[in-house]
Amino acid sequence: MSASGFLAIDWGTSNFRGWRIGSTGRIEASVELPFGVSRLDPSQIPRRFEQEVRPALNGEDLPALMCGMVGSNIGWRAVDYVRCPASLADLARGVATLADGAAPVRVVPGLLDGAPDVMRGEETQIFGWLALHPECARGSHLVCHPGTHSKWARVEDGRIVRFVTAMTGELFDVLRRHSVIGRGTDAENEVEFSAGLDAAGGGDALSARLFATRARVVSGRASADAAPSYLSGVLIGSELGGLPRLIGARSGETVHLVGSPELRKRYAFALARLGWDFEEEEGDRAVIAGLRALVDQGALA
């Protein structure tokens, strides 16, 4: 750990979260700001960080370690991916410097799976989850990180060996806003969400399962208001039906669910309904633990 502490930053496409970590490793301050990199002109990013984030965290003189899309071609600067299989040490070796000086800014690289598949940000949460769960340091484990682009990763003996992405959240969002099938209210309807999960068909023929959202409404089988809940069920059910198989999940294996409380709630409900064992970990806690672990590996040295 840096003797003087550091700024831990999770800067994604839509959201920004930052924490000041003290020299003893304690969280001393935190900030959440509405400027994901997709909402900023890339040329503004360094200035917004120096002029808004540092003062908010009272961290003008601290080194910063960032993860997420800030290290992509829509962020501060594109940083090369590290290839799977990748250990925490491999990731630390790929850390790049965005700004030098007394209070440097560094960024964690994303991971590349040969399939191909890519992630930026989730790798830090996965290694953070691993740091928080030393009992998983050995052996083979299955991690699910739900989101706009949900990631399923296979972790073996402390390395991320492969992963696959389902664009569940983005499909929900574009269909909700731009298609004939997702019109309705945002109110959660557990009965319709469950019906969607049950109709997902083990992950096959998603383009047909999706259309049922509309067919149920126009045939009078369901109310239009509940369509988004059903749609969410079909999409999450399809992810849970298809992705574990793609990543080589074993029957009866525990899913380690890492993410935000609201997404964990939906996925936990779905996993339970579909008969999976699972353990939950809070996403923010995981990202902080991951950035700390990288600092311990010399990412700010």
192 belongs to the binding site for its own copies (CB under 8 A): no
Q: Which is nearer to its own copies, 150 or 297 (CB)?
A: 150
d(CA 249, CA 32): 35
C-alpha torsion sign, points 275, 279, 284, 287: negative
Q: Which residue has the tokens 């682009």?
A: 149
Phi-psi region of 204 (alpha: psi -120 to 50; beta: other; left: phi over 0): beta
Tokens of residue 215, six digits: 């067919």
Q: Which is nearer to its own copies, 168 or 229 (CB)?
A: 168
Q: Which is nearer to its own copies, 164 or 294 (CB)?
A: 164
d(CA 53, CA 180): 41
Q: How many residues does the chain have?
A: 301
Backbone angles phi, psi at 179, to 5 degrees: -115, 170
Q: How far is the CB of 272 from its own copies (least distance, A)?
A: 21
Bridge partners for 155 per DSSP: 141, 160
Binding residue (CB under 8 A) for its own copies from 12, 36, 108, 168: 168
141 belongs to the binding site for its own copies (CB under 8 A): no
Part of the chain binding its own copies (CB under 8 A), chosen from 41-49, 93-101, 126-134, 161-169: 161-169
Draw the binding track, 80-119, toward its own copies (x: CB under 8 A; -: no contact). -x------------------------------x--xxxx-
Binding residue (CB under 8 A) for its own copies from 137, 215, 262, 265: 215
3-class SS at 161? strand
* Residues 217 to 246 in contact with its own copies, rule: CB under 8 A: 218-219, 221, 235, 238-239, 241-243, 245-246
Sheet containing strand 27-33, edge to edge, reads 27-33, 16-21, 6-11, 64-67, 105-107, 96-99
Q: How far is the CB of 150 from its own copies (least distance, A)?
A: 8
Backbone angles phi, psi at 273, to 5 degrees: -65, -35
Cβ contact 144:108 at 8 Å: no
Q: Which is nearer to its own copies, 89 or 174 (CB)?
A: 174
Binding residue (CB under 8 A) for its own copies from 171, 270, 291, 295: 171
Binding residue (CB under 8 A) for its own copies from 141, 145, 149, 264: 149
- 273 burial (CB, 10 Å; 0-12 / 13-18 / 19+) is middle
Binding residue (CB under 8 A) for its own copies from 101, 207, 251, 252: 207
Q: Which is nearer to its own copies, 155 or 200 (CB)?
A: 200
181 belongs to the binding site for its own copies (CB under 8 A): yes
3-class SS at 179? coil
SS (H, E, C) 52-67: HHHHHHCCCCCCEEEE
251 belongs to the binding site for its own copies (CB under 8 A): no
List contacts with its own copies (CB under 8 A): 72-73, 81, 112, 115-118, 149-150, 164-168, 170-171, 174-175, 177-181, 202-208, 210-212, 214-216, 218-219, 221, 235, 238-239, 241-243, 245-246
